[in-house]
């Protein structure tokens, strides 16, 4: 009868797992994340890209001012970014946009514009929502652009050297009983 030595078997198993894990990390870094980062940085308007793997994966994109975006439009730029991310990483990736909004523009957005946008979205009054935001922005000397597609409302605000972007999903009501 032969005796099986436990210590060498455990060491070999640990070494094999370490090599597999290291190989997976190298593959992910060189064949998945680096090409994605390079492709995202080539999208017009993208200044920096940060990719954090995890559960879920998270991609943070810092965008430049309006004139740097694809045709000056957040919606087109967002679609280019989202398509690239979903092609490389699949669905379920958290996509964050960052901008140079400044405290004053953030305060005006949260206090004046977001309530109009939320009410318009909830009531389905999209044309009124857009005209109210445009009118208010004109009075406040803010450049505003609101666009929409079947999934999101895209908000672009700029004043001076500061600019703010927001992508607001439409509410999706998931069935259920009401009493």
| List of residues 6+ apart from 92 with CB closer than 8 A | 56, 57
Cis peptide before 22 (omega within 30 of 0): no
Mean pLDDT of the region 104-132: 93
User: pLDDT band at residue 172, thresholds of 50, 70 and 90?
Assistant: low
DSSP code at position 167:
E
CA atoms within 13 A on the CB side of 168: 21
Q: For position 174, what pLDDT does the model report? A: 47
Structure tokens given for 123: 């009531």
Q: For position 154, what pLDDT does the model report? A: 95
Q: How far apart are CA 153 and CA 168, in angstroms?
A: 5
Total-model pTM = 0.78
Q: For position 6, what pLDDT does the model report? A: 84
Q: How far apart are CA 5 and CA 154, in angstroms?
A: 64
User: pLDDT band at residue 176, thresholds of 50, 70 and 90?
Assistant: very low
Q: How many residues are present in the chain? A: 179
- Structural domains in the chain? 7-98 (3.30.70), 100-171 (3.30.1300)
Cβ-contact 37, 49 below 8 angstroms: yes
Q: For position 65, what pLDDT does the model report? A: 93
Cβ-contact 156, 74 below 8 angstroms: yes
Structure tokens given for 27: 């593959």
Q: Which class for 85: exposed (0-12), middle (13-18), buried (19 or more C-beta within 10 A)?
A: buried
Q: How far apart are CA 116 and CA 109, in angstroms?
A: 10
Q: How far apart are CA 149 and CA 162, in angstroms?
A: 25
User: pLDDT band at residue 27, thresholds of 50, 70 and 90?
Assistant: low
């Amino acid at each position: 009868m032969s005796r099986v030595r436990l210590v060498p078997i455990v060491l070999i198993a640990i070494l094999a797992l370490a090599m597999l894990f290291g190989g997976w990390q190298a593959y992910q870094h060189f064949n998945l994340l680096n090409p994605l980062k390079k492709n995202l940085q080539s999208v017009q308007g993208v200044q920096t890209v940060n990719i954090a793997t995890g559960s879920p994966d998270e991609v943070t994109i810092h965008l430049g001012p309006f004139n740097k975006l694809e045709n000056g439009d957040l919606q087109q730029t967002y679609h280019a970014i989202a398509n690239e991310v979903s092609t490389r990483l699949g669905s379920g990736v958290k996509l964050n946009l960052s901008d140079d909004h400044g405290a004053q523009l953030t305060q005006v957005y949260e206090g004046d514009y977001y309530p109009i946008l939320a009410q318009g979205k909830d009531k389905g009054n999209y044309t009124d929502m857009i005209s109210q935001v445009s009118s208010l922005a004109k009075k406040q000397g803010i450049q505003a652009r609101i666009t929409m597609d079947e999934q999101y409302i895209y908000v672009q605000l700029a004043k001076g050297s500061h600019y703010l972007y927001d992508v607001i999903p439409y509410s999706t009501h998931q069935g259920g009983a009401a009493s």
